[in-house]
């Protein structure tokens, strides 16, 4: 039976962003986003719908939803101190408008706009997939597409780049760092004495699973080399800006892990030597990069350490590499 500590969702690492847990956070997405935020430790949460209800004049794209009469001014509504983007919302025009309003007004969208603050309020985004495959013959928009819209609107309006406090979910190093943290907790519960030196990341998507594992492997190598050479935990160039600046992991992860091996399986998105053109090398090394703006593309990052048929073979490979077979 799998315990909650063994499952990582795209938003799970937000548990460790404790510096935001007491702040009033606007949450966007669909499904139980308010409940998810509270379960992750956030104490003061405002939904897009609650914000729209407090300030109905902000949401003006859909003419049928415009207020028929001038509403009374909102009173007692809290100042928003940060934004959490869980996933793609349903009404994109409403979420795009209100999130931009919050960033431009420094969390007070009911007041007259003065100087536009920059840096803007902290933005935490989960799940960066531009597209995803459903039952349709063509890929569907993912949260990465919504983020692309938000980034370009903000830049068009302000002339400045939208900045993220953290990008969470594969292929972000934050997610792999959090996985390392949970693995070490599991090892401690099992009474393991030997430090964990190698991680194995198994997945079927070169652009997310393999890319993220290799990116984290590069971070581990840089951090370890820097630690050996200079006797310090971390250097600015050793990691992505979002890797652990805001995570209280240093006391829990003592950099004993030295590598993260990527294992690509052939039972999902990736099909080894298949005739489907979506699975050819061109899909991962072509000129069109579907990754997020803040992750520069490197063809070497989508090359898996190992390619096996399925997850069982991947586990057996890890056992063999660790001399457990």
Residue spans per domain, the chain: 4-65+77-167, 194-231+251-322
In angstroms, the CA 97 to CA 219 distance is: 36
Residue 231 — very low, low, confident or very high, per pLDDT cuts 50/70/90? Answer: low
pLDDT of amino acid 33: 97
Provide the pLDDT for residue 139: 86
pLDDT tens, 92-129? 999 999 999 999 999 999 888 889 999 999 999 999 98
- Residue-level pLDDT at 243: 44
Neighbouring C-beta atoms of residue 130, cutoff 10 Å: 18
Cβ 257 vs Cβ 194: under 8 Å:
no
* 26 or 256, which is more confident: 26
pTM: 0.83
The whole-number pLDDT of residue 318 equals 96
Question: Would the pLDDT of 38 be above 90?
Answer: yes
Residue 325: pLDDT band (50, 70, 90) is low
The pLDDT value recorded for residue 267 is: 85
pLDDT tens-digit readout, 278-316: 443 444 445 578 889 999 888 999 999 999 999 999 999
Ranking 31-45, 155-169, 179-193, 245-259 by mean pLDDT, the lowest is 245-259
Whether 75 shows a pLDDT value over 90: the answer reads no
- Tell me, what's the pLDDT at 281? 45
**Mean of the per-residue pLDDT values for the chain?**
87
Asked if residue 141 has pLDDT above 90, the reply is yes
State yes or no: pLDDT of 276 exceeds 50.
no
Rounded to an integer, the average pLDDT of 29-52 is 97
Kindly report the three-state secondary structure assignment for every residue of the chain.
Answer: CCCHHHCCCCCHHHHHCHHHCCCEEEEECCCCHHHHHHHCCCCEEEEHHHHHHHCHHHCCCCHHHCCCCCCCCCCCCCCCCEEEECCCCCCHHHHHHHHHHHHHCCCCCCCCCCCCCCCCCCEEEECCCCEECCCCCCCEECHHHHHHHHHHHHHHHHCCCCCCCEEECCCCHHHHHHHHHHHHHHHHHCCCCCCCCEEEEEECCHHHHHHHHHHHHHHHHHHHHHHHHHCCCCCHHHCCCCCCCCCCCCCCCCCCCCEEEEEEECCCCCCCCCCCHHHCHHHHHCCCCCCCCCCCCCHHHHCCCEEECCHHHHHHHHHHHCCCC
What superfamily would CATH give domain 4-65+77-167? HAD superfamily/HAD-like (3.40.50.1000)
């Amino acid at each position: 039976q799998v315990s909650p500590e063994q499952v990582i969702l795209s938003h799970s690492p937000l548990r460790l962003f404790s510096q935001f847990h007491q702040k009033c956070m606007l949450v966007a997405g669909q499904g139980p986003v308010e409940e998810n935020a509270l379960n992750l430790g956030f104490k003061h949460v405002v939904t897009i719908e609650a914000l729209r209800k407090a300030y109905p004049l902000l949401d003006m794209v859909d003419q049928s939803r415009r207020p028929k009469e001038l509403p009374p001014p909102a009173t007692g509504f809290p100042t928003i101190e940060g934004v959490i983007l869980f996933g793609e919302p349903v009404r994109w025009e409403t979420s795009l408008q209100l999130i931009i309003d919050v960033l431009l007004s420094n969390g007070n969208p009911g007041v007259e706009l003065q100087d536009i603050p920059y840096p803007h309020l902290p933005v935490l985004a989960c799940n960066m997939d531009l597209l995803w495959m459903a039952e349709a013959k063509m890929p569907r928009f993912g949260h990465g597409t919504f983020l692309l819209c938000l980034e370009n609107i903000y830049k068009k309006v302000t002339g400045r780049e939208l900045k993220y406090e953290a990008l969470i979910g594969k292929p972000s190093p934050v997610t792999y760092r959090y996985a390392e943290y949970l693995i070490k907790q599991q090892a401690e519960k099992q009474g393991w004495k030997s430090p964990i030196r190698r991680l194995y990341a198994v997945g079927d998507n070169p652009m997310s699973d393999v890319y993220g594992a290799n990116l984290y492997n590069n971070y581990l190598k840089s951090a370890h080399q820097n630690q050996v050479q200079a006797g310090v935990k971390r250097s600015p160039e050793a990691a992505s800006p979002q890797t652990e600046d805001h995570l209280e992991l240093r006391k829990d992860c003592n950099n004993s892990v030295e590598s993260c091996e990527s294992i690509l399986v052939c039972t999902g998105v990736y099909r080894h030597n298949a005739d489907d053109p979506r699975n050819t090398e061109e899909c991962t090394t072509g000129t069109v990069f579907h990754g997020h703006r803040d992750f520069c593309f490197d063809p070497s990052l989508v090359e898996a350490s190992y390619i096996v048929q399925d997850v069982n073979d991947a586990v057996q490979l890890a056992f063999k590499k660790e001399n457990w077979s």
